[in-house]
Amino acid sequence: MRRLPVYLLIDTSGSMKGEPIEAVNAGLQTLVASLRRDPQALETACLSIITFDREVNVILPLTPIEELQVPNIVTPDSGPTNTGAALELVCQRVDQEVRILSTDVKRDWKPLLFIMTDGAPSDIQKYKAMVPECKKRHFAAITACAAGMNAKIDMLKDLANNIVSLDTCDSATFSQFFAWVSASISSGAQSVGVTSELVLPPPPPDVNKID
């Protein structure tokens, strides 16, 4: 079975507490529910969720959609945003989980990475060191989402080939964002793109594309 591995990195630093994280939780439920209704995604997509605040945690290892149960994400009251450590962890997970270069095992499609943050990396040295490491993992697309006004877009430009921003961190906006992520995963599951970069569908009104 040829899988499409999808990694979601979610900022769970203190500023996400309250409505934002509840909106993320609701968004993830909707995301998975809509992937279940897309035959291509249901058969091929696998999802992993990594959260980052002071700690970085794999709260969902790479799991096929059909087996997946969305965990509930919680946030600490305050603390730093260790984005760099999250990138380090996702690189390790990709090395462990994504099947490449073998004549014995069916190779996976190139993985997708989505990272959502409402601030800036606190571990800036590590972040800068990990950006080139992420590039080496040959993601079909790295998509960054700057959520709310305090998110530092400039920092994301080195990392991602697609950047979107959300003006607010409310549930309506997050729900649009996650619907778009779901559409992107579906189009990734369909794309048998080899030489060309993965083209993501146009984002909805409250999700602003940044060039």
Partner 1 sequence: MNSKRASKMSKDSESEQVRGVDTETPLVVQSALTADDGNVSLSDVEDARDGVALSSNEIPPSAAETASKPAEFPKTLMKHAVKRLPNCKITGLDYQAALADILSAFQPHEIKNTEIKKLTDNIEWVYDGALHTISCKPTEAGEFEMELCVDVQRNERHVFPLRLTVNPDPKTLWKNIPSPQDGIYSKPDCDKAFRVCAEDLSIVAASQRGRSHAQEAKPRDDDFAFNYDPESAAAVLVVADGAGSAKFSRKGSQIAVRTALEHVSQVMVKTYWDEIEASIRKWKTEKDSGSEKNIQKTLYKTLIHAAFEAKKKISQEAKDHEARYQADYKKNEKFSSRDYATTLIVTLAKKFDFGWFVATYWVGDGGVGVYQPNENKVILHGVPDSGEYGGQTCFLTEDKVWPPDANILIQRRVRFDVVDSFKAIILMTDGVTDPKFETENNLSSVTHWNDVWADLSKTVPWEKRDSTVADSLLAWMDFWSSGNHDDRTMVVLY
180 Ramachandran zone, left/alpha/beta (phi>0; psi -120 to 50): alpha
Q: How far is CA 95 from CA 49, 79, 132, 150, in A?
A: 16, 29, 15, 32
Contact present, 117 and 76 (Cβ < 8 Å): no
Cβ proximity to partner 1: between 83 and 162 the closer is 162
State the Cα torsion 100-156-133-110 to the nearest 10°.
10
Residue 181 burial (CB < 10 Å; 0-12/13-18/19+)? Answer: buried
| Residue 69 CB, nearest approach to partner 1 (Å) | 5
List interacting residues with partner 1 (CB under 8 A).
1-3, 36-40, 42-44, 65-69, 100-110, 138, 190-196
| Residue 41 CB, nearest approach to partner 1 (Å) | 10
Cβ proximity to partner 1: between 95 and 167 the closer is 95
Cβ proximity to partner 1: between 138 and 157 the closer is 138
| Residue 124 CB, nearest approach to partner 1 (Å) | 31
| Residue 162 CB, nearest approach to partner 1 (Å) | 17
| Residue 190 CB, nearest approach to partner 1 (Å) | 6
3-state secondary structure of 205: coil
Cβ proximity to partner 1: between 18 and 39 the closer is 39
List Cβ neighbours of 81 (8 Å cut-off, separation of 6 or more): 11, 13, 52, 53, 117, 119, 120, 121, 122
Cβ proximity to partner 1: between 107 and 157 the closer is 107
